[in-house]
């Protein structure tokens, strides 16, 4: 049973400057909740009790978010704000959350390598800290189940527009069941004509601990970075690897447009403001339509 999860969150977030200058992009809120809290909650809901977050310079806010704030708790209790008090106490009690520093930003593969000692020879779940997934079936839980069944690495996949495959790590493979693939090749950000499929890796992985030995063998690529996809390609020489097509929607908050879209989607579902927000969007859309008609 996989009991540990690793969440890389060390990047600078340059696409969100100036907002990311003094706060981690993973702490940018989706409505009223930091993005990385959703990721931690996803892991916890899948049965994970031990979480390692990989951070870098300027990421102390993540540590503080998952630690207790006794002064704030006392203030809320004194003012009778018991609902808010329960909310923030739940954050620090969800799981055992640990931190390790990636001292030099050298790519996702190198970030994952920072988890070697914490993982300690056990299989683990890897969830990217700037990506959310909404699905009918828990993707994290399904990856854990498939890893237990095959005893090999399993990655989440999603179909993407063939014209946009160059943004992702893409797999080639053979279907072995409904939504299941035996992976035969992996290419990081291929040109449209070179992609073996339109199935992109969807930011969630259930890894065998053997991945670390292949990360060690991986040579730095573009910008001197060690790509996790390259390490996985090396691993394919010696071990089977499986892919699971998610039944849901992935939200990448690593760019401005998708961040805005994600806030709209989650805002519409928010129990406190969803209904009123929906009416606002209707009125806004109506106004946009009238402006377009005038032109």
Domains in the chain and their CATH numbers?
4-254 (3.90.550.10), 255-295 (no CATH)
- Name 147's Cβ contacts closer than 8 Å, sequence gap at least 6: 2, 123, 153, 154, 206, 208
pLDDT digits (tens, 9 = 90+) for 58-104: 788 999 999 999 999 999 999 999 999 999 999 989 899 999 999 88
Confidence (pLDDT) at 136:
85
Q: Are 62 and 24 in contact (CB under 8 A)?
A: yes
Confidence (pLDDT) at 290:
66
Confidence (pLDDT) at 1:
83
Confidence (pLDDT) at 131:
93
pTM above threshold 0.85? yes
Confidence (pLDDT) at 77:
94
Q: Write out the H or E segment, with its range, that includes residue 157.
A: strand 153-159
**HSE toward the beta carbon, residue 108, CA cutoff 13 A:** 19
| 27-29-30-31 Cα dihedral, nearest 10 degrees | 160
Rounded distance between C-alpha atoms, residue 112 and residue 126, angstroms: 8
Burial of 136 (0-12, 13-18, 19+ CB in 10 A): exposed
Confidence (pLDDT) at 292:
57
Confidence (pLDDT) at 80:
95
How distant, in Å, are the alpha carbons of 75, 101, 161, 182 from that of 59? 26, 9, 33, 37
In the predicted model, residues of the chain with pLDDT beneath 50 are 295
Rounded distance between C-alpha atoms, residue 35 and residue 250, angstroms: 13
Confidence (pLDDT) at 293:
53
How distant, in Å, are the alpha carbons of 20, 275, 281, 294 from that of 289? 34, 21, 12, 9
Confidence (pLDDT) at 126:
98
> What are the counts of helices (DSSP H) followed by strands (DSSP E) for the chain?
11, 13
Confidence (pLDDT) at 276:
96
Q: How many CB atoms lie within 10 A of CB 153?
A: 26
Confidence (pLDDT) at 223:
76
Burial of 111 (0-12, 13-18, 19+ CB in 10 A): buried
Q: Are 147 and 206 in contact (CB under 8 A)?
A: yes
């Amino acid at each position: 049973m996989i009991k540990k999860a690793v969440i890389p969150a060390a990047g600078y977030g340059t696409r969100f400057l100036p907002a990311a200058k003094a706060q981690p992009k993973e702490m940018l809120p989706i409505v009223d909740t930091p993005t990385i809290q959703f990721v931690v909650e996803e892991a916890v809901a899948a049965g994970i009790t031990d979480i390692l977050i990989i951070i870098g310079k300027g990421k102390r806010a993540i540590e503080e978010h998952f630690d207790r704030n006794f002064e704030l708790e006392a203030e809320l209790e004194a003012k009778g704000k018991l609902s808010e008090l329960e909310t923030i106490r739940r954050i620090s009690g969800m799981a055992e959350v640990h931190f390790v520093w990636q001292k030099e930003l050298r790519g996702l593969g190198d970030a994952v390598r920072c988890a070697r000692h914490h993982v300690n020879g056990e299989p683990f779940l890897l969830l990217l800290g700037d990506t959310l997934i909404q699905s009918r079936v828990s993707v994290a839980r399904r990856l854990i189940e498939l890893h237990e069944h095959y005893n090999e690495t399993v990655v989440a996949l999603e179909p993407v527009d063939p014209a946009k495959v160059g943004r992702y790590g893409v797999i080639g493979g053979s279907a072995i069941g409904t939504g299941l693939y035996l992976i035969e090749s992996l290419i990081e950000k291929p040109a449209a004509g070179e992609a073996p499929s339109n199935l992109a890796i969807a930011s969630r992985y259930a890894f065998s601990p053997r991945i670390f030995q292949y990360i060690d063998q991986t040579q730095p690529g573009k910008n001197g970075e060690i790509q996790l996809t390259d390490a996985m390609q090396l691993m394919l020489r010696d071990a089977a690897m499986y892919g699971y097509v998610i039944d849901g929607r992935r939200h990448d908050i690593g760019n401005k447009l998708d961040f805005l879209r994600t806030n709209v989607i989650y805002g519409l579902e928010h129990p406190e403001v969803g209904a009123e927000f929906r009416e606002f969007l209707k009125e806004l859309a109506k106004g946009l339509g009238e402006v377009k008609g005038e032109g």
